[in-house]
């Protein structure tokens, strides 16, 4: 089949590869030590040694952005995987059992949706203290209802199909059917959702770190770079612009990738093209 | 005479429809009304009727996917709907089903061999799963190497053969075929019907054959039950029902199907 890949998928994949590649590279190499302060060299303009200059403490901006990318990716990845697995498990369970269990899980999900995500994260930080771990847990938690709802909706569709009935006729129990038939057939929908949630998680991490509830100094994070640069907006606006651009690139990249994946997995959309 | 393989007694199934008015109780549709029939080993009962006559509901009750509101299904003397869920799952290998749509009844993400072996896996340790799968494929006229292929590589008729292989892999006593050939081309229909009859001879299967097409039913069934609006109209040996239908509705069906009497 030589179906053309959707434009948003290609663009998203390129941006995501850029961000993920940068984050991976920062594990082994950054131009300078991201936390090394050289006060004598503060606010240096872009040069051959400091590609984007230095900040108010003389730290290399490129190195900080790369370290920030690593933190943002790690937080988003763990949060989406954690929230996703719990959410998918709950959705599958709700769909398999039905009745009051399904109603209960879905009303809880509604409750989760009704609660402002950021407010919940702030509450968590207030109770347990601000830390990257708590930020991850908060973002994971707000992901649970999203995944639960998507999973349950897709699973309910699969439950009505004949091959599921055939599995029941074969004597499989509901949990084995969920594992063997439902999950493999809704995996595409979950992966699409995970990609989109990844973008949301990056934004949430940036917001939490900006508020001082995420990554703690000296750990770098795009949100923290933003909040540090805020006080210097008139003196050195570029320090706020760089991390802001990084966040935009990452969020737009994952958003486009998710949209593109959905277009590819939905035959109704691909026929229109 | 020995006890029948399947004895359905006074089956009734009602569905509650969506409310149409806030003040009146929800209307109730009686999908199957007080219907009884028996099937003996090696025998085929055809259930005919137009859509909405309750045929498929009967299949779902016999397969214990649904519980009748009244009446009981005795399979080998056991009331299926009185069994615990676990006991029922163990019994299921003895009565299997072939579905109407050969494109929907096989999981597209699983190999054919995997799907065929599913009823064996469900009841636990059977060491010879691979051999039985190959055997079942050959019984339905497909090469054993097809076990590694995926459903999309097969035509509708071949898929229906695969579905039949899955249904007979545990050597059941009863096969429920709900419109099993309705989605197939006429030439393929004949092949599948012949296959079912051959398997019946080899395995001594009792078959509950459900169809809207009296011509198809006439070609395969020993006994016929005619249904309309959930009620049994007439039943009896196939030859008798076809030659001298007692009910005007059966005569209409016969005329529509163009069965020579």
Q: Does A272 touch chain B (CB under 8 A)?
A: no
Residues 6+ apart with CB under 8 A from B11: B32, B34, B35, B36, B58, B61, B68, B70, B71, B72, B73
Q: pLDDT tens digit string along A66-119?
A: 888 888 889 999 999 999 999 999 999 999 998 899 999 999 999 888 888 778
Instruction: Give the residue among B229, B260, B60, B90 at the shortest CA–CA distance from B170.
Output: B90
d(CA B153, CA B151): 5
Search chain A and give the residue with CA nearest B59.
A169
User: How distant is the Cα of B173 from the closest Cα of chain A, in angstroms?
Assistant: 14
Q: Phi and psi dihedrals of B206, rounded to 5?
A: -90, 135
The pLDDT confidence band at residue A273, using thresholds 50, 70 and 90, is very low
pLDDT of residue A269: 53
Residues A149, A109 contacting (CB under 8 angstroms): yes
Q: Tell me, what's the ipTM?
A: 0.88
Quote the percentage of chain A above a pLDDT of 70.
96
Q: Phi and psi dihedrals of A186, rounded to 5?
A: -110, 5
Tokens standing for A184? Answer: 């493999």
Q: pLDDT tens digit string along A21-52?
A: 988 888 888 787 777 777 777 777 787 777 77
Q: What would the 3-class secondary structure string for chain A be?
A: CCCCCCHHHHHHHHHHHHHHHHHHHHHHCCCCCCCCCCHHHCCCCCCCCCCCCECCCCCEHHHHHHHHHHHHHHHHHHHHHHHHHHHHHHHHHHHHHCHHHHHHHHHHHHHHHHCCHHHHHHHHHHHHCCCHHHHHHHHHHHHHHHHHHHHHHHHHHHHCCHHHHHHHHHCCCHHHHHHHHHHHHHHHHHHHHHHHHHHHHHHHHHHHHHCCCCCCCCCCCHHHHHHHHHCCCCCCCHHHHHHHHHHHHHHHHHHHHHHHHHHHHCHHHHHHC
Q: Does A110 touch chain B (CB under 8 A)?
A: no
Q: pLDDT tens digit string along A127-155?
A: 888 888 888 888 898 899 999 999 999 99
Compute the CA torsion angle A21, A24, A25, A28 (nearest 10 deg): -170
The answer to whether A161 contacts B166, with C-beta atoms less than 8 Å apart, is no
Please give the CATH number for the structural domain made up of A7-21+63-266. Answer: 1.10.3720.10
User: How distant is the Cα of B27 from the closest Cα of chain A, in angstroms?
Assistant: 22
pLDDT of residue A272: 45
What average pLDDT is seen over chain A?
86
Search chain A and give the residue with CA nearest B114.
A180
**Which residues from A are below 8 Å from B163, CB to CB?**
166
Domains of chain B: 6-257 (3.40.50.300)
Q: Tell me, what DSSP letter sits at residue B19?
A: P
User: How distant is the Cα of A270 from the closest Cα of chain B, in angstroms?
Assistant: 20
Tokens standing for A202? Answer: 């990056």
What is the enclosing helix (H) or strand (E) of B256?
helix B248-257
Residue B258 has pLDDT above 90, yes or no: no
The answer to whether A185 contacts B109, with C-beta atoms less than 8 Å apart, is yes
Report the DSSP beta bridge partners of residue B13. B32
Residue B242 CB coordination number (10 Å): 20
Q: pLDDT tens digit string along B9-47?
A: 999 999 888 888 888 888 888 899 999 999 999 999 999
**Which residues from B are below 8 Å from A173, CB to CB?**
85, 89
pLDDT of residue A47: 78
Q: What is the value of pTM for the model shown?
A: 0.84
User: How distant is the Cα of A273 from the closest Cα of chain B, in angstroms?
Assistant: 24
The pLDDT confidence band at residue B126, using thresholds 50, 70 and 90, is low
**Which residues from B are below 8 Å from A184, CB to CB?**
107, 109-110
Q: Does B171 touch chain A (CB under 8 A)?
A: no
d(CA B84, CA B75): 15
């Amino acid at each position: 089949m030589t179906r053309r890949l959707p434009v948003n998928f290609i663009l998203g994949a390129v941006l995501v590869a850029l961000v993920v590649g940068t984050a991976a590279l920062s594990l082994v190499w950054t131009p300078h030590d991201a936390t090394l302060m050289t006060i004598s060299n503060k606010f240096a303009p872009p040069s051959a040694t400091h590609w984007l200059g230095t900040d108010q403490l003389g730290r290399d901006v490129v190195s900080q952005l790369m370290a920030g990318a690593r933190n943002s990716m790690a937080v988003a990845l763990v949060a989406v995987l954690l929230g996703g697995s719990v959410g998918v498990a709950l959705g599958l369970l709700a769909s398999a059992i039905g009745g009051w269990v399904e109603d209960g899980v879905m009303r809880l999900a509604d409750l989760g949706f009704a609660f402002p995500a950021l407010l919940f994260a702030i509450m968590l930080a207030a109770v347990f203290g601000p830390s990257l771990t708590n930020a991850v847990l908060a973002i994971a938690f707000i992901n649970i209802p999203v995944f639960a709802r998507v999973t349950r909706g897709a699973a309910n569709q699969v439950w009505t199909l004949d091959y599921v009935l055939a599995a029941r006729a074969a004597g499989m129990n509901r949990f084995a059917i969920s594992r063997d038939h439902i999950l493999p057939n809704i995996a595409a929908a979950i992966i699409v959702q995970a990609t989109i949630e990844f973008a949301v998680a990056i934004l949430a991490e940036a917001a939490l770190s900006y508020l001082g509830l995420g990554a703690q100094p000296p750990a770098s994070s795009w949100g923290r770079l933003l909040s540090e640069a805020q006080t210097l907006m008139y003196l050195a606006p570029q320090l706020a612009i760089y991390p802001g651009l990084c966040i935009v690139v990452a969020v737009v990249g994952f958003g486009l990738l998710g949209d593109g994946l959905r277009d590819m997995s939905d035959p109704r959309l691909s026929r229109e093209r | 005479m020995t006890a029948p393989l399947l004895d359905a007694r006074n089956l009734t199934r009602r569905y509650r429809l969506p409310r149409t008015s806030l003040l009146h109780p929800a209307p109730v549709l009686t999908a199957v009304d007080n219907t009884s029939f028996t099937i003996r080993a090696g025998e085929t009962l055809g259930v005919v009727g137009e859509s909405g006559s309750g045929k498929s509901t009967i299949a779902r009750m016999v397969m214990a996917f649904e519980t009748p509101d009244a009446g009981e299904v005795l399979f080998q003397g056991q009331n299926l709907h009185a069994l615990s869920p676990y006991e029922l799952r163990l019994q299921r290998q003895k009565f299997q089903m072939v579905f109407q749509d050969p494109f929907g009844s096989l999981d597209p993400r699983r190999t054919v061999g995997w799907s065929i072996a599913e009823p064996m896996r469900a009841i636990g340790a059977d060491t010879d799963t691979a051999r039985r799968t190959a055997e079942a494929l050959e019984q339905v006229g497909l090469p054993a190497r097809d076990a590694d292929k995926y459903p999309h590589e097969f035509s509708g008729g071949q898929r229906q053969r695969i579905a039949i292989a899955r249904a007979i892999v545990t050597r059941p006593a009863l096969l429920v075929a709900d419109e099993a050939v309705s989605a197939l081309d006429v030439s393929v229909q004949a092949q599948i019907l012949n296959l079912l009859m051959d398997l019946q001879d080899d395995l001594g299967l009792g078959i509950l054959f459900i169809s809207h097409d009296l011509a198809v039913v006439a070609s395969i069934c020993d006994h016929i039950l005619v249904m309309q609006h959930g009620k049994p109209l007439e039943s009896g040996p196939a030859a008798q029902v076809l030659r001298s239908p007692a009910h005007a509705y059966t005569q209409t069906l016969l005329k529509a199907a163009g069965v020579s009497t």
